């Protein structure tokens, strides 16, 4: 399952998080896969796409990052191509 992770940096300060990633890596538990990420220009949020089969792995990851200066929101997402397959039978003829 895919999750859009919205990571918020305390006081728009991403430096502590970047230092932690540089020094200790992403601290991902086995089974949680980082796919890609995007940062807002003002550094207030990072949007990460992650994949796992068990949402408890996201909880374990957040616990590993306590004290990093970030908070997290998790949103399950479905790729657009897969959504089109689901919606296609319900579309009216052109």
Residue ranges of domains in the chain: 2-90
Please report, for residues 6, 57, 87, the alpha-carbon distance to residue 44 in angstroms, rounded to integers and kept in the order given.
10, 24, 35
d(CA 79, CA 26): 24
Q: pTM score, two decimals?
A: 0.86
Q: Dump pLDDT digits (tens) for 56-94.
A: 999 999 999 998 889 999 999 999 999 999 999 999 998
Asked if residue 10 has pLDDT above 90, the reply is no
Domain boundaries 2-90, CATH class:
alpha beta
Asked if residue 47 has pLDDT above 90, the reply is yes
């Amino acid at each position: 399952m895919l999750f859009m992770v919205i990571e918020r940096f305390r006081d728009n300060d991403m430096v502590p998080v970047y230092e932690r990633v540089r020094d200790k890596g992403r601290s991902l538990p086995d089974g949680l896969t980082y796919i890609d990420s995007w940062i807002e220009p003002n550094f207030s949020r990072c949007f990460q796409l992650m994949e796992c089969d068990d949402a408890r792995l996201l909880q374990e990851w957040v616990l590993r990052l306590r004290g990093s200066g970030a908070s997290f929101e998790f949103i399950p997402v479905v790729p657009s191509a897969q959504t089109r397959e689901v919606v296609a039978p319900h579309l009216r003829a052109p």
